[in-house]
Amino acid sequence: AASPAFKRALSTSRPALFASQAAIPRTKLFINGEFIDSKTDKWIELRNPATNEIVTMVPEATQEELNYAADSAAEAFKTWRKTTVLHRQRKMLDLQLLIRDNMDRIAHSIVLEQGKTMADARGDVLRGLQVVEAACAMPHMIMGDHLEVSTDMDTYTIREPLGVVAGITPFNFPAMIPLWVFPLANAIGNTCIIKPSEKDPGACMILAELAVKAGIPAGVLNIVHGARDAVNFICDNEHIKAISFVGSDQAGKYIHERGSRNGKRVQANLAAKNHGVIMPDADKNHTLNQLAGAAFGAAGQRCMALSTVVFVGETKNWIPELVERAKKLKVTSGFEADADLGPVISKESKARVERLIASGVEEGADLVLDGRGIKVQNYENGNFIGPTILTNVKPNMECYREEIFGPVLVCLNADTLDDAIELINKNPYGNGTAIFTQKGATARKFTQEIDVGQVGINVPIPVPLPMFSFTGSRGSIRGDVNFYGKAGINFYTSTKSVTALWRHQEAEDHHKVSMDMP
């Protein structure tokens, strides 16, 4: 049953997220429990990727505003850390219900600002919601250990919150990735500052509004906007003890170095190049359907997109059937009911993807499906690229070495499973991989020999649910503690070990000084 505070919150009207209804709406900051207008003179245009019409102006928060957020979070920590874990669990229970009730509203914001389809945007919210649901089990997850280590002597551990923690998140999952961060951090007793992507902060602003309704107190969650200056502030501010980053290599390596240099814990999930291996014994229909969905879904803008296929042996003959499936996919605005994939995030991104397609052709790959120059009815101005397939790609080609992050499937050939494994293990990234086979022994060999942190067997996008952790490896991560699950709890806590002696009768050694290591 919902708490009285929660019921009251449900009946209150939602605060306006925009500073002004006139002219172009401006996205607000959320600091110390209030949605506030930024006083900055630096604004970032946010355009609908399907039309390139301006949706909102996003502020680059001033130093004063950033300091206000960090100070508010530090102040709120003093009282929030003293609340019981059962109290914080109740907030998460209320928050998960509010997110579920507002799923379509959040998804709508994602489609408008990010471009993915409505169904896919709901999935973005759902995968984040599952982390909130997991955070509802915090009393269980945060339990320490206990052992009677000697007569009358016990050692036990207490998991304590760190203080203020920050999340710096990417554009491609504007709900899910902020939800990887603040629900766990807050349920543990930390306070939090999120800097969502300046390209699509709308979903995060709705989540902040729902956090208020769930009764999460002022300063416990704060949302700031901006780009490099805001990121530098987070890396340097003395109140902030830990940074969770998800995004590109360039930003992630920089943030990992700068934050670590300042003595902060940093976990950074970076870019990817995920390979699917197709074995001759695979179920052809299942495999081709999964491939098309995982390569072109979300216009290829998923860190776990299956963007590279290794056809083993004769399976390369399946390519024409894959092309037929890809051709049938409907490219249009994510708001259209029949959309299979929407636009890419920006004009710059579209130009970059098209350049990488051209580089593949120049370097000798075969372009068997070309999605460049696609005309989308009613959305002539959008950043659309149709599904594109490059075959006979070689590892030295730029289209193989770079993460493309668009609806482009890069296909390589291998004679044997061993050759496929060698190829994948040589790639610097280790986010995800998948094998398609009907033989258990083949899947087992692949699982054991592949040096990639997340493996799918007949599952193209093996992102673990939040009772596990997101375990990308090698070049796809900096830092050594993963997001969510048990690892996420470890990241947002420090462990205090207590050893206590309570004699119930006077012992012989009571009056002697001992100089030995006990």
Least distance between ligand NAD and beta carbon 127 (Å): 11
Is 340 or 403 the residue whose CB approaches ligand NAD more closely?
403
* Number of residues forming the site for ligand NAD (CB under 6 A): 29
**φ, ψ (nearest 5 deg) of residue 399:** -65, -20
Q: Which residues contact 359 (CB under 8 A, 6 or more apart)?
A: 397, 398, 399
Q: How buried is 86 (Cβ within 10 angstroms: 0-12 exposed, 13-18 middle, 19+ buried)?
A: exposed
Is 442 or 469 the residue whose CB approaches ligand NAD more closely?
469
Is 133 or 198 the residue whose CB approaches ligand NAD more closely?
198
Residues with active-site annotation: 303
Half-sphere exposure of 463 (CA within 13 A, CB side): 19
Among 146, 228, 327, 394, binds ligand NAD (CB under 6 A): 228
Contact present, 241 and 213 (Cβ < 8 Å): no
Contact present, 176 and 188 (Cβ < 8 Å): no
Q: Which residues contact 151 (CB under 8 A, 6 or more apart)?
A: none
Tokens 């006990």 correspond to 518
Is 3 or 248 the residue whose CB approaches ligand NAD more closely?
248
Please give the structure tokens belonging to residue 478: 């900096």
Element at 436 (helix H, strand E)? strand 433-436
Q: How far is CA 71 from the centre of its chain?
A: 26
Q: Is there binding between residue 171 and ligand NAD (CB under 6 A)?
A: yes
**φ, ψ (nearest 5 deg) of residue 97:** -70, -40
Least distance between ligand NAD and beta carbon 469 (Å): 11
- Whole-angstrom Cα distance, residue 118 to residue 192? 29
Q: Is there binding between residue 89 and ligand NAD (CB under 6 A)?
A: no
Least distance between ligand NAD and beta carbon 502 (Å): 47
Tokens 């670590």 correspond to 260
Is 248 or 392 the residue whose CB approaches ligand NAD more closely?
248
Least distance between ligand NAD and beta carbon 304 (Å): 7
- Whole-angstrom Cα distance, residue 18 to residue 58? 10
Among 267, 431, 442, 469, binds ligand NAD (CB under 6 A): 431
Mark 298-327 with x for binding to ligand NAD (rule: CB under 6 A) and - for no binding: -----x------------------------
Among 38, 40, 169, 274, binds ligand NAD (CB under 6 A): 169
Of 371, 307, 388, 385, residue with least CA distance to 343: 385
Q: Is there binding between residue 250 and ligand NAD (CB under 6 A)?
A: yes
Among 170, 183, 460, 479, binds ligand NAD (CB under 6 A): 170
Give, as ranges, the residues between 269 and 298 that touch ligand NAD (CB under 6 A).
Answer: 269-272
Give, as ranges, the residues between 456 and 475 that touch ligand NAD (CB under 6 A).
Answer: 470, 472
- Whole-angstrom Cα distance, residue 16 to residue 158? 41
- Whole-angstrom Cα distance, residue 169 to residue 201? 10
Among 197, 244, 388, 454, binds ligand NAD (CB under 6 A): 197
Least distance between ligand NAD and beta carbon 369 (Å): 23
- Whole-angstrom Cα distance, residue 124 to residue 232? 28
Least distance between ligand NAD and beta carbon 244 (Å): 10
Tokens 């024409």 correspond to 320
Among 11-19, 46-54, 61-69, 171-179, which window interacts with ligand NAD (CB under 6 A)? 171-179
Q: Is there binding between residue 219 and ligand NAD (CB under 6 A)?
A: no
Chain residues that interact with ligand NAD, rule: CB under 6 A = 168-173, 195, 197-198, 227-228, 231, 246-248, 250-251, 254, 269-272, 303, 403, 405, 431, 470, 472, 476
